[in-house]
A and B are shown apart, each in its own frame.
Chain A
Amino acid sequence: MASLRELSQKEVLFTGGHRLCAGCPAPIVVKQALLAAPRAPIIVQPTCCLEISSAVFPYTAWKTPYYHNAFENAAAVASGIEAAVKALKKRGKLDAGKDYYIICIGGDGGTYDIGFQALSGMLERGHRVLYICYDNGAYMNTGIQRSGATPYGAWTTTSHVGEAQKGKQQHRKDLAWIAAAHGAYVANASLHNWRDFMRKVEKALNYEGSSFINIQAPCPRGWRFPENMTVEIARLGTETCFYPLFEVEDRGQKWVINYTPKNKLPITEYLKPQGRFAHFFQKDNEYLIEEFQAEVDRRWEHLQRLAKMSAE
Chain B
Amino acid sequence: MSTGSNLFAEPGLQQITVWARGVVMNKDARDIVVALAEAAAREGKYVQAWENYVDLPDRVYVPVRAYARISTDPIESKYIYENETPDIIILVEETLVKGVPVLRGLRKGGVLVVNTRRSPEEILSFLGDTGNLETLVTVDASSLSTAVTTLSGAEGATDATGIGAGIAAPLAGAVVKATGIVSLENLAAVVKNPEAMRRGYELARVTRLETKGAAQEVAVSAGELLKQLPFAGTVPSPVSENEGMVTGNWRMQRPVLDQEACTSCDTCWIYCPDSCITRTDEGPTFNLKYCKGCGICEEVCPSGAISLVPELNFKD
Chain A contacts to B: CB under 8 angstroms: 4-5, 7-9, 12, 14-28, 31-32, 52-53, 55-64, 141-144, 157, 191, 194, 220-221, 224, 226-232, 275
Contacts and interface: CB of A to CB of B under 8 A. Distances in A.
Interface in B229-283: 229-230, 233, 235-238, 240-247, 250-251, 264-267, 269-276, 279
A231 B300 contact: yes
B59 interface: yes
Contacts of B299: 228-229, 231-232
Contacts, number: 164
A15 B244 contact: no
A23 B290 CA distance: 13
Interface residues of B, number: 55
B115 to A, nearest CB: 19
Contact of A231 (B151, B233, B271, B276): B271
Given A28-B273, A58-B233, A228-B295, A19 B60 contact: no
A192 to B, nearest CB: 8
Nearest to B238: A15
A60 B238 contact: yes
A31 to B, nearest CB: 6
Contacts of B157: 143, 157
Q: 6 tightest A-B contacts by CB?
A: A59-B244, A17-B242, A16-B290, A228-B295, A21-B60, A143-B155
B27 to A, nearest CB: 13
A59 B243 contact: yes
B238 A18 contact: no
A14 B59 CA distance: 19
B296 interface: yes
B251 to A, nearest CB: 8
A53 B295 contact: no
25 contacts: A9-B279, A14-B275, A16-B242, A16-B276, A17-B245, A17-B246, A20-B273, A21-B294, A22-B294, A24-B60, A28-B272, A55-B235, A58-B230, A58-B235, A59-B245, A60-B236, A61-B242, A143-B156, A157-B155, A221-B23, A226-B295, A227-B294, A228-B295, A230-B273, A231-B300
Contact of A56 (B151, B243, B244, B265): B244
A58 B229 contact: yes
A219 to B, nearest CB: 10
Nearest to B155: A143
A226 B60 CA distance: 10
B-side binding surface: helix, strand, loop or mixed?
Answer: loop
Nearest to A27: B273
A23 B300 contact: no
Contacts of B295: 23, 226-228
B62 interface: yes
A19 B246 CA distance: 9
Contact of B151 (A52, A62, A157): A157
B292 interface: yes
A5 to B, nearest CB: 6
Contacts of B292: 22-23
Contacts of B59: 19-22, 24, 53, 221
Interface string B80-119: 0000000000000000000000000000000000000000
Nearest to B245: A17
B273 A25 contact: yes
B61 A22 contact: yes
Contacts of A63: 237-238
A157 B270 CA distance: 32
Contacts of A9: 279
Interface in B137-163: 149, 151, 154-157
B287 interface: yes
A143 B157 CA distance: 9
